[in-house]
A and B are shown apart, each in its own frame.
Chain A
């Protein structure tokens, strides 16, 4: 991606770098387009182009940053000087000697297959599809609100450094959203396509992959069933958690807990810290031997598949929890170096856009499938519940004590799914919860999913995170209904 018609980013960074400094330029162009039909009415469609650059300057031992939407050579030249001023302002007060910080080592480019490019479809066809979906949600007069929407987000990024490195990546993401709200005189309940966890990498083929056109009828019917169902019983019971809720469960109680910048204390003022200690790596038994958790940037269609992170580290599949034992945390090259564990660096240092610096983030954080079929997961429960699709989430700042609610809950009686229940929630603490893992669903239960809304960092950053999850069975979980 050239910023100017005549100059590559690599050439540009050499021209703007202050003398005697190391300098990098991270240019990001995000183009997005959204369509939403609410109660059969198309809301004004919107598109956006967010284009800017972050200049990083290391002068001596200090680092300074400057983000600008002025991409002229003069604008970037000025930004590099501002970044150097910030480096000087921090003289002697940096968290480390940034001259020794890891830097990108190899140039490269990465993109992914797109079978049906967004642009190949007429806007009128997309609108028609959404209108049909919105109508499909209306399965009953008690459906009082319906939303069907699609968002496409294309991100092109270029990293160039004064070490003659240039890295280019392109991501095309699709975010489908379907929701039905049902109401009678006594209650209001809603159902969606998986609690905002249906984001995927690709073009419009994503819609076929998730059976988008078949979902509305099911979601509308589910909403009515939920409305009419009794409250979830309260008690300690065995549960089977579906893949859409496993997304949230793993995200909150494994992913964030393992982020190295939380363990280093960088996030203590905002997102929080972690109960995990560095000494736990290699020894902490997180769960039984059937628990295997990885960062995997190679899964086709998962939203954070990538070739590199935003600091230029090459991406590869890396185990975090192997056979139930914690091996390493989630951190980029800089965090790994600060913890004197450079061999544990993973390509997860990511920024939401050009105007925020990269920090440690989950990328594709996946729970590997086991060997138990869905029928067998359920068959082993005498009296319990099925829990899926997140509706409410809360966890403490050490990622230990959590309480989650779900849209989709059903009783399990004598090893079989029985009637729906509503207002279901559960609470537990992280390690006891994972140690109660009794079975992991096989590849047939494993779903590639993703969320567009993971918030963290100061200044705040919202990023996509990929999660591919099987259904799982847990023993003796504290479950509750409306009264909490």
Chain B
């Protein structure tokens, strides 16, 4: 795939006219998937796709075109030529773009992950079949993801990595359900089985009668995935975006302007820790080791090349959306195994489902309990809580409401497959909080 991409890039370079430059960005995948419902295969198959985005610039103007390619340069040659001709003709009619950033410095590098990919039967075995009274459900997805960027100035960057994701759940007849996720570059069926067994072990408590807590505030342990759920809408809405912070529209703007989170809270962007590509779709090096929050205080921000041009800043390679691709939070000293004991009387939550920003002020996020949500009494998990709505300020939860931070971080692969698979993820600990607001 890599040599084909470079051949395509060289061919595109050969089509350019005087004064034109291009950036060629590639996202491809060879994927196998098995979708399971009630322990059986609902859909299973393969997906092969190769999407190329060509950005052509001339005299301070730029225009882009994406195309899905066959994988054979001979077959795609005419289509590529037609795109370059069209872009070349259209770019001259555009107004000058005052914020068009420079092309990245010319570098050549590659990241190449290695590992075994399961065959279809193994993939199905890993997730299908029932567990006692519970029905299994979910998706197992595997294969190699490819990313590449080339420029007519000579930059060549390549990323390829195999990844298998088993995203499964087990559902009791009464409605209780437990979730499990296994991800890895190298297929390891016994490790996946161990994750599945752990999820299965939670079914006993989920089968008990529901004890729904009344509206009020609760001491609660939020597992890493639950914290990820709460942070999601905050970062999508420009939490760490330089542009959003400058305009005050970031929900986290206050922490860059005097409001302090708990001093134990430290966030950084760390592609190395997550294994994501070290470059963005424009070819610039991704932000690495970016200390977003240190000792509870907002520090660095995601600054895209365009924002930098617009506001006279120095960019740090952030994507145009200025979102994290590899958000990492420092662990604390708290042993997650003692979470129920420390909660005492409250809640233990594995996830917060369907979160959204309820108000920008305070980074107020709402969502509902799902999967393993337990009522804790006298330091022990006693029953599932069913569905309750959470509505609370993330700034408060990571500030005055924070009691402790878990000592173990969890790698949370981005499970989104809209359009294509995603190499992004986060690495977070769980948190123990006071006064988590249950509103219904």
Contact = CB atoms under 8 A, between A and B. Distances in A.
Interface of A: 41-52, 62-72, 75, 79, 82-83, 85-87, 89-90, 93-95, 123-124, 127, 144-145, 181, 183, 187-188, 190, 264-266, 268-270, 272, 355, 357, 392-398, 400-401, 403, 405, 423, 425, 427, 455, 458-462, 482, 484
Interface string B24-60: 0000000111110110111111111111000100000
B69 A69 contact: yes
B72 interface: yes
B374 to A, nearest CB: 17
B368 A396 contact: yes
Contacts of B75: 70, 72
B370 interface: yes
Nearest to B120: A89
B138 interface: yes
5 contacts: A48-B66, A50-B66, A95-B40, A95-B41, A392-B366
Contacts of A269: 137-139, 167-169, 179
B128 interface: yes
B388 to A, nearest CB: 8
B141 A459 contact: yes
Given A66-B47, A269-B137, 11 more contacts: A67-B45, A69-B70, A75-B71, A123-B93, A188-B247, A266-B42, A269-B169, A357-B43, A403-B358, A405-B359, A459-B35
Contact of B124 (A89, A95, A398): A89
B360 interface: yes
A462 B358 contact: no
B81 to A, nearest CB: 14
B41 A93 contact: yes
A335 to B, nearest CB: 10
Contacts of A190: 249
B370 A397 contact: yes
Range, interface on chain B: 35 or more
Nearest to B320: A43
Contacts, number: 243
Nearest to A185: B248
Contacts of A145: 247, 249
A7 B190 CA distance: 49
A69 B47 CA distance: 9
Nearest to B246: A144
Interface in B181-238: none
A85 B71 CA distance: 22
A52 B46 CA distance: 13
Contacts of B66: 46-50
Contacts of B177: 268
Nearest to A392: B356
Contact of A69 (B49, B360, B368, B417): B49
B299 to A, nearest CB: 22
Contacts of A397: 353-354, 368, 370, 387
Nearest to B168: A269
Given A46-B64, A183-B248, A396-B368, A86 B55 contact: no
Given A93-B40, A394-B367, A42 B247 contact: no
Contacts of A42: 94-95, 97
B164 interface: no
A388 B97 CA distance: 36
A182 to B, nearest CB: 10
Contact of B138 (A50, A68, A89, A458): A458
B98 interface: yes
Contact of B364 (A65, A393, A396, A484): A484
Nearest to A334: B42
Contacts of A458: 33, 35, 138-139, 167, 417
B440 A427 contact: yes
A83 B171 CA distance: 29
B169 A65 contact: no
Contacts of A272: 353, 370
